[in-house]
Amino acid sequence: MRKSSLKFSVLLFTSSAILFILLAFLTLPKFLLLDMWLMSKGIYLTANHVQEGLTYLSLKGVNLYGKNSKVVSFDRLDISLIVPYLLLKGVCGDGYLTAKLYPFGKAHLQGKDFRCFEGFYVKSLDLSLNDGIRGTAQLLNLKVKDTKVDELSLVFKGKSFDGRALVSDYTLSGSGSIVLSRKNFLNSQLNVTVSGNGISLIIYGSLDNPTLEFKR
């Protein structure tokens, strides 16, 4: 009887929380909600044009900033409530990024030919986020400080991943780990080493301010 009561209480609490979030999204100013949520994650938003409907928010001329600098820009960013997830779609030129955000921190990210991140170009992206990260990412023209990586391909396996990098005429391969931060995704900690031809490329630190080192 106690177990049944506990399960009912948890279900009631979860349902009430989801209902509260749903009502807040439907009734409160959505741009204000988005801005407050991003600020709680250490991300700051500007937009040239805002349009709101009952279940959607559409922004144009969007810029997102982290604690150190601009992170990404969008020609257009659309946010729609499609139960059971929140759909985000950002467009920049001919490229796009999409994110499906589910309750309890689960998410699915996809992208193709997206050139509007500061410091790199997303050739392809297909990632699922839950307890860890699974999927693939291919980044081009990655710039960290004074170093350029022509291509970086990653295969995520939860809390670890395999990587391959093309630097000048050298092909490097290796592996690494990632510690996912649910409170602020940009604070997730990355540590990867790829090597070959007598040189090593090491990338470590938070996603919004990584450190890149070459060793020979």
Amino acid (1-letter code) at residue 71: V
- In this structure, are 55 and 92 located in the same domain? yes
- In this structure, are 65 and 101 located in the same domain? yes
Instruction: State residue 34's pLDDT score.
Output: 83
- In this structure, are 109 and 143 located in the same domain? no
Alpha helices, H only, the chain:
2-27, 30-40
Query: Quick one: what percent of the chain has pLDDT higher than 90?
Result: 38
* 126 falls within a domain: no
- In this structure, are 109 and 155 located in the same domain? no
- pLDDT confidence band for 7 (50 / 70 / 90): very low
* 1 falls within a domain: no
- In this structure, are 43 and 111 located in the same domain? yes
pLDDT at 12 over 60: no
- In this structure, are 83 and 149 located in the same domain? no
- Among the residue ranges 47-51, 104-108, 118-122, 145-149, the one predicted with the least confidence is 145-149
- In this structure, are 113 and 142 located in the same domain? no
Show the tokens assigned to 131. Answer: 């307890």
Dist. CA 134–CA 138, nearest whole Å: 14
pLDDT at 119 over 90: no
138 DSSP β-pair partners: 124, 153
User: Residue 125 gets which letter from DSSP?
Assistant: E
Dist. CA 11–CA 18, nearest whole Å: 11
* 83 falls within a domain: yes
Other Cβ atoms within 10 Å of 54 Cβ, number: 9
62 burial via Cβ count (<10 Å: 0-12, 13-18, 19+): buried
* 88 falls within a domain: yes
pLDDT at 23 over 70: no
pLDDT at 142 over 70: yes
User: Which range marks the domain in which residue 92 is found?
Assistant: 29-118
Q: Which residue in the block uniquely carries the two structure tokens 């395999």?
A: 162
CB of 137 closer than 8 Å to CB of 118? no
pLDDT at 1 over 50: no
Show the tokens assigned to 144. Answer: 């960290």
Dist. CA 203–CA 112, nearest whole Å: 23
CB neighbour list of residue 213: distance below 8 Å, 6 or more residues apart: 201, 202, 203
Helix (H, G, I), strand (E, B) or coil at 114: strand
Number of domains composing the chain: 2
